[in-house]
Amino acid sequence: MEKEITTIRKNETWNLVDLLEGKNVIGLKWVFKTKYDTDCSVQKYKFKLVARGYSQQQGIDFDETFSPIAHFEIVKTILAMAAQLKWKVYQFDIKSAFLNANLEEKVYVNQLDGFVVKGAEEKVYKLNKELYGFKQALRAWYNKVDSYFRKNGFERSKNEPTMYVKKCQHDLLIVCLYVDGMIYMGSSYSFICEFRSCMMTKIEMTDLGLLPYFLGIEV
């Protein structure tokens, strides 16, 4: 938990302030999850700090919430294409993805039990960036990634807004987003390595290497 709080502070996710009159304070909680490998063995234990987004009020705490998520058929199509072309498929896991997304609305959250700042117990945190659980969090994260891809030569699919393609002479790179995960493949290994290096410099993420398992599919 201390590590998660350190990441939040490092990303300048929030500032300790006095609560403005008429503003809601959103609660926080820890969520724990066990991630399994393809053979059903425990891969790792995960936990994240999540906002109690169900208490948000539209027009006060958020406006737009819609964000596209890759259709399962698109994921299967990309994997089928990789098999046909004999391309390798790779995977990224974005660390605390929503912490990288800027927040447009003014939203406040409580201080966490065990991490209350002495002498400032009555203060709250004003968020600068998103947290998991907020209704607009996924939209903010998608907008950030979409903006980055478009500024760096990627073309977004007209039929699938979570799929991006980048061409460089005879080389081709295909990327597909799924919430805080990303799979990608290409015709050139050097092109893939360049993309991987740029992404890991821009956004804190874990390179999971070759894709072994995704959305219930063993690859």
- The domain tally of the chain equals 1
Per-residue confidence in pLDDT tens, the chain, 219 aa: 666 677 777 777 788 888 877 778 888 878 888 877 767 788 777 777 777 766 556 655 555 555 667 788 888 888 999 999 999 999 988 765 555 666 667 788 888 877 888 888 888 888 877 676 666 667 777 888 888 888 888 999 988 888 999 998 889 999 998 877 889 999 999 999 998 888 888 777 778 888 877 777 777
217: left (phi over 0), alpha (psi -120 to 50) or beta: beta
Two tokens, residue 122:
């009555």
Structural domain including 52 reads 2-218
Decide if 16 contacts 123 (C-beta within 8 A). Answer: yes
Its pTM stands at 0.64
Q: Which long-range contacts (CB under 8 A, 24 or more apart) does 160-165 make?
A: 160/70, 160/71, 160/74, 161/68, 162/68, 162/69, 162/70, 162/74, 163/70, 163/74, 163/78
Supply 12's token pair. Answer: 């300048």
- pLDDT value, residue 31: 80
Q: Encoding tokens for residue 180? A: 């805080």
Q: What is the pLDDT of residue 110?
A: 84
